Structure 1
Amino acid sequence: MKKPLMLAFAALALSAVAAPSFAADWWTAMPKPVIGQTATIDVRTTGALGNGVHDDTAAIQAAINALPTTGGTVTIPAGHYMVNATKPIKLRSHTSVVMDPLATVEVIPTSASRYMVFQIYNVTDVSISGGNLIGDRTKHLGDTGEWGYGINITAATNVLVQKVNLSNFWGDGVWIGAKDVNKVHVRSNYVTVDGVVSSNNRRQGLSIGPSQHVYIVNSTFQGTNGTLPEAGIDIEPMTEGQTNAVRLENNTFADNHGNGIELHTNISDIAIVGNTLKGNYGFGAMGIGAGYVTFTGNFATQNGLAGVRPSGKSHDWLITGNTLKYNSTRYMSATKEGGSLSRDIQFSKGCYNISVYSNLYSNTKYDTYTR
């Protein structure tokens, strides 16, 4: 009974310190892309075979290109479609790609350090749903680079990715970011990832670069391994621009070889709410010079290092209403009670304005700890 009240209080505290974007509850609307209603094209009618052998890249692109200027829907029925991801399938504005749950789109093995299956670039009102996207990490022909993506969303607005399984990519399952378009820095805006499973990718389950109004919900990011940072989700605009108004809610971050969630500089208005972070080799969630983060109502357990750590010059964090138990398994038993507070929550000397209260820890004597 106490938890909803605690979360409500945390939300009120957040509204007092965060930017107006959170006060507006922007994430509740979720993107509802305006898709063209007059045309639906099945990729088999443009030559796709889906037999696990034929290169279906051109046929899928032809289906998208055949839609009218007002957009429409491309369907990919059950089957095994091989694609050349060095020639990405480019989506147009007001276009939806709907994959059958039994449709698999797999990358033809390549030595390229950079590739992407679907490219959503400088467009608006796009959705991708259903199906399975598989990278080439187990068959990759080279050993350099880390930028093989399942879905690349760049400088795009009003995008929905829903119920897609992504696995085995040379880099990230999904990338969301920005690019200079006609000498103007354009960030992705209003992007929702809902009900996605991203697993066994080499660099990240999902990365967020310069963007705003990004909502990741009801999704799973697991088993990332191969090349650093190896996180479930990494919010990493760095010096490329700003990232703000991001909400990670009701997701699972499990068994990643790095941190479950990693956050870097040039970010603000980041809400991490009601997630499960379990069995990650690093921290459940770690910020490196990250600012303006709310971490509330999460369950972090059995992570190799602490459940949560603001490090470097991280600042203006609210950490409340979380269960942080049985962490630091690289040093302690996952079933053993007790230990110091740092088993579950840690702070670097350089971080500041970190507010901590009403969390539960492995050692119950710290449950009243405030900062």
Structure 2
Amino acid sequence: MTTVKIDIKTMGATTHPDDRVVMHAPEVRARIGGGLVSTAPLEVPLVDGVATLENVEPGPMLIRFECLGIADTMEKLGIVPDSGVWTLDEIISGKLTWTPPVVSEGLQKIIDQMNLALDSVGSAVEGEMGGLIRSAESAAQTSAMYSETSAIFSNSANVRATIAETAASNAVARVDALEAVSGLGPSTPVDGQTASLVLQSDSLTRSALDGAVTAHTGMYPVESYGAVGDGVADDTVAIQAAIDAATSAGGGTIFFRPGAMYLVKTLNVSEGITLSGYGSKLLRPANTPNWVRTITNQNRAYVGPKDSEKMIIIRGLTVDGNLANQGAYENYELQQSMLLQFQGDPTQPGRVRVLLEDVTTNNCVSDGVHVWRNVDITIRNHRANDCFRGGLVASGGHSIIRVEGYRGGGTIRGAHIDIEIDSAGYGGSLRTDIYLTDAVELTRAKFTDNFDGKAGAIIRLDRCVLLSGVVWVLGSEEKGFADLQVKNSTLHTYATLYGNSIINPQGAIFENVKLYGHHVDGATERRVINIRPNNLGKSPTKSSIKFINCDLMVAEPGGSSQWIGYAREAADNLSHTMEIIGGNITTAFRGVQLPSGHAVIGGGVKIDAPTPIFVNNDGARPQYTVLGDIKFGATATQEFFTYGSGAQSTIEHSGTVVDVAVNNSIGTQTGWGGQIYRGRRTLLVDAPPTATTTGIRGDIARLKTPVAGAAYEWICTTSGSTNAAWKVLTTIPT
């Protein structure tokens, strides 16, 4: 046997009474002289930084310093030689060797089975902890970035970190329980950490080890039920057997081996089941027919008066739809072949609770994740690639969707988000609340993102980047309206005449949002946003939307007209309102087009367009525009333009200041008497105004540099751009 001497002072470290070194074998192996070497950790306390270990079993050893004076706490692999006296420095130097004992084939199989089982436990614990720790770190980072919600996110981080710590403490107990089957454990002496090899029948067989794992951890390794994991053999029956065994026991964790690929048709799950598959993949067989879902609870749908106490949990799995080998799908031949699909029973108010963490859905002829009715789902760190109908799709009411981290992309189809509620949940409700945080589309998808809100639904987006264009359907008089708020996000749109619409907004708010309008081949009009208050069913009697510090712009030149289209198709009243407060609007044609309704534009917003504001009152639709503090860009050739022969538009100025040297052109098709003007502008002039100084009756012209004894302010008494009349209002005394 070998003696190991430890002295951390030779490593330049200071000492502390609580210093210790933790040592353990990296895997179960045969002991020289018989028996097995345990993987249980041995904690060696140091006295003044020194300790001596006698009769240490030769072979590989993992060593970790838990010493106040040593910052590096990573485990180091060392080799304990066959005999002699060695320092710990020498053991971890990588220069020493040992002679493994000769092991019979039968004993080696037992050792291999034990190590596989131990690895399964360790990998599962590591995967669970990894997801929890990443969630904790994400919540902590969010707390630091957004101080206004720091209390909520800090609490979330603390909770998740506590769960991760609990998982860590349970890990040792799980390994100890497994090793106890063979008589190994933490109390085994350091002299080789030996234990008698129990030879009774079935005592160390794979089934006994798996039984120990399941009994002490609630884990069901799918290989124990016959799964192969080579991507060729059909593992559906084996994995379903593991799920059914866990279900019969009241729930449990189905463990998928890291690095394995399981060929699977359909897995039926229910609440209380966790699928843990960090580093493993489920692959859909070629030519899978329509209506086959890879993971679903459709045959075990939850029904109850309250939300389910237990959850369906999926962690770490990659689910691949094998799109290239599924046949025709682009005409929706396989649109019901979702990868993950969840639902509750709408005859009762209870929702099934679902948690997805670190799940990836790839190459699907339909949806990556589909949420139907009566579902309460939380999705964290989801990655979707090339999912034809969408990476995340919802179609059923009485549901709640929370997303904390989504990445949609791919090179073939992309993976957009589609919330299109057309199937009622409990009580006939079509309401589905959506909370989307940190959702990013990495590539543009084939279809447009869609958010369909009905019956008082709540839609919240924060820190999102959507590349595929967005249509917001915010309800109707018959089905109720949605509450929409979008903040701190970037939205790309691909506008046609009626594309990228906000339909029936009721108090919708966009704050700190960047909106980019892109050219569409063949489209003559490009509207970054269309507000359409009468598109669905009965026209609402009122609508409202507010943009706060938003940047709206055309992304690239092209097309015959480019604008931001607001308040389009409003009903014939002024109860449809839109506010633009601050921010920037940049286009190559028109800035804001206002065909009807009530608009307020100000708050320091900068509009850089040849026609910043276009008031288009064609037909019988009235228009009332309030212009406040607006800054005009270098391309602006006029402040606003009024057009049409229908109902008179009203233009009210409130705190508007215009530098005449920059822009003071007003265009009108109907003449100065064709509109109603209220309020007044303040015009900053370098010289006294003349008949060609465009003015609206009531405007004040004010010299930028007052001159003693000369006129300082003038008031416009007759509107016009070539025949305006001005009267001295104030004079600077001498």
Length-normalised TM-score, structure 1: 0.74
Q: What does 1:92-131 align with in structure 2 at a 5 Å threshold?
A: 92-100=270-278, 102-121=279-298, 122-123=301-302, 124=308, 125-131=311-317
Q: Is the CA contact 1:130–1:164 (under 8 Å) kept in the aligned structure 2?
A: yes
Distance 1:277 1:51, change over 3 A: same
Residue 282 of structure 2 aligns to a residue in which SS?
strand
Structure-1 residue corresponding to 2:267: 89
**Among 286, 304, 307, the residue aligned to 2:471:** 286
For residues 159 and 509 of structure 2, the distance between their equivalents in structure 1, rounded to whole angstroms, comes to: 26
* Residue 532 (structure 2) pairs with residue 348 (structure 1): yes
* Residue 482 (structure 2) pairs with residue 297 (structure 1): no
Question: Which structure shows the higher strand fraction?
Answer: 1
Distance 1:358 1:289, change over 3 A: closer
* Residue 235 (structure 2) pairs with residue 56 (structure 1): yes
Q: Which digits, 9 at most, give the CA deviation of each residue in 1:47-86, with x for residues without a partner?
A: 111111111111111111122432111110123434342x
Q: Is the CA contact 1:203–1:225 (under 8 Å) kept in the aligned structure 2?
A: no
Structure-2 residue corresponding to 1:357: 547
Q: What does 1:177-192 align with in structure 2 at a 5 Å threshold?
A: 177-178=372-373, 187-188=374-375, 190-192=376-378
For residues 231 and 359 of structure 1, the distance between their equivalents in structure 2, rounded to whole angstroms, comes to: 29
Kindly state the Cα deviation for residue 359 of structure 1 after the two structures are TM-superposed. Answer: 3.5
Kindly provide the amino acid, as one letter, of the partner of residue 48 in structure 1: A
**Among 418, 440, 449, the residue aligned to 1:234:** 418
Kindly state the Cα deviation for residue 192 of structure 1 after the two structures are TM-superposed. Answer: 0.5
Residue 531 of structure 2 aligns to a residue in which SS?
coil
* Greater displacement, 350-359 / 67-76: 350-359
Kindly provide the amino acid, as one letter, of the partner of residue 310 in structure 1: I
User: What is the percentage of aligned positions where both structures have the same residue?
Assistant: 17
Structure-2 residue corresponding to 1:215: 402
Q: What does 1:1-371 align with in structure 2 at a 5 Å threshold?
A: 39-67=218-246, 68-85=248-265, 88-100=266-278, 102-121=279-298, 122-123=301-302, 124=308, 125-143=311-329, 144-155=333-344, 157-178=352-373, 187-188=374-375, 190-208=376-394, 209-223=396-410, 232-241=416-425, 242-254=430-442, 255-259=444-448, 261-264=449-452, 266-280=454-468, 283=469, 285-288=470-473, 290=475, 291-305=481-495, 309-311=501-503, 314-330=504-520, 343-350=527-534, 352-362=542-552, 364-365=584-585, 368=602
Q: Is the CA contact 1:324–1:359 (under 8 Å) kept in the aligned structure 2?
A: no
Residue 529 of structure 2 aligns to a residue in which SS?
coil
Residue 303 of structure 1 aligns to a residue in which SS?
strand
Kindly provide the amino acid, as one letter, of the partner of residue 398 in structure 2: S
Kindly provide the amino acid, as one letter, of the partner of residue 76 in structure 1: F
Kindly state the Cα deviation for residue 295 of structure 1 after the two structures are TM-superposed. Answer: 2.8
Residue 66 of structure 1 aligns to a residue in which SS?
helix
Kindly state the Cα deviation for residue 117 of structure 1 after the two structures are TM-superposed. Answer: 1.0
Distance 1:239 1:166, change over 3 A: closer
For residues 151 and 52 of structure 1, the distance between their equivalents in structure 2, rounded to whole angstroms, comes to: 19
Residue 493 of structure 2 aligns to a residue in which SS?
coil
Residue 387 of structure 2 aligns to a residue in which SS?
coil
Kindly provide the amino acid, as one letter, of the partner of residue 319 in structure 2: L
Structure-2 residue corresponding to 1:21: none
Q: Which digits, 9 at most, give the CA deviation of each residue in 1:223-249, with x for residues without a partner?
A: 4976xxx86121122243413322112
Kindly state the Cα deviation for residue 134 of structure 1 after the two structures are TM-superposed. Answer: 0.2
RMSD: 3.4
Q: Which digits, 9 at most, give the CA deviation of each residue in 1:196-244, with x for residues without a partner?
A: 0111011111111223222112112234976xxx861211222434133
Q: Is the CA contact 1:344–1:362 (under 8 Å) kept in the aligned structure 2?
A: yes
Q: Is the CA contact 1:220–1:253 (under 8 Å) kept in the aligned structure 2?
A: yes
Kindly provide the amino acid, as one letter, of the partner of residue 133 in structure 1: V
Q: Is the CA contact 1:64–1:92 (under 8 Å) kept in the aligned structure 2?
A: no
Kindly provide the amino acid, as one letter, of the partner of residue 199 in structure 1: N
Kindly state the Cα deviation for residue 310 of structure 1 after the two structures are TM-superposed. Answer: 0.9
Higher relative contact order (CA 8 A, sep 6+): 1
Question: Which structure shows the higher helix fraction?
Answer: 2
For residues 487 and 446 of structure 2, the distance between their equivalents in structure 1, rounded to whole angstroms, comes to: 24
For residues 500 and 456 of structure 2, the distance between their equivalents in structure 1, rounded to whole angstroms, comes to: 18
Residue 216 of structure 1 aligns to a residue in which SS?
strand
Distance 1:286 1:225, change over 3 A: farther
Q: Which digits, 9 at most, give the CA deviation of each residue in 1:150-200, with x for residues without a partner?
A: 11111152210110110111110011112xxxxxxxx12x21011101110
Distance 1:231 1:270, change over 3 A: farther
Distance 1:265 1:278, change over 3 A: closer
Kindly state the Cα deviation for residue 109 of structure 1 after the two structures are TM-superposed. Answer: 0.9
Distance 1:56 1:4, change over 3 A: closer
Residue 168 of structure 1 aligns to a residue in which SS?
strand
Distance 1:278 1:212, change over 3 A: closer
Residue 416 of structure 2 aligns to a residue in which SS?
strand
Kindly provide the amino acid, as one letter, of the partner of residue 250 in structure 1: D
Q: Is the CA contact 1:48–1:81 (under 8 Å) kept in the aligned structure 2?
A: no
Q: Is the CA contact 2:402–2:436 (under 8 Å) kept in the aligned structure 1?
A: yes
Distance 1:231 1:77, change over 3 A: closer
Structure-1 residue corresponding to 2:650: none
Kindly provide the amino acid, as one letter, of the partner of residue 269 in structure 1: A
For residues 60 and 231 of structure 1, the distance between their equivalents in structure 2, rounded to whole angstroms, comes to: 28
For residues 72 and 171 of structure 1, the distance between their equivalents in structure 2, rounded to whole angstroms, comes to: 29
Kindly state the Cα deviation for residue 112 of structure 1 after the two structures are TM-superposed. Answer: 0.8
Matched positions, count: 317
Q: Is the CA contact 2:452–2:472 (under 8 Å) kept in the aligned structure 1?
A: yes
For residues 259 and 146 of structure 2, the distance between their equivalents in structure 1, rounded to whole angstroms, comes to: 44
Unaligned runs of 5+ residues in structure 1 are 9-27, 179-186, 333-339
For residues 293 and 360 of structure 2, the distance between their equivalents in structure 1, rounded to whole angstroms, comes to: 15
Kindly state the Cα deviation for residue 327 of structure 1 after the two structures are TM-superposed. Answer: 2.1
Residue 228 of structure 2 aligns to a residue in which SS?
coil
Q: Which has the larger radius of gyration?
A: 2
Q: Which digits, 9 at most, give the CA deviation of each residue in 1:74-105, with x for residues without a partner?
A: 110123434342xx2111321111002x2111
Kindly provide the amino acid, as one letter, of the partner of residue 61 in structure 1: Q
Residue 224 of structure 2 aligns to a residue in which SS?
helix
For residues 270 and 137 of structure 1, the distance between their equivalents in structure 2, rounded to whole angstroms, comes to: 34
Q: Which digits, 9 at most, give the CA deviation of each residue in 1:137-162, with x for residues without a partner?
A: 21103542311111111115221011
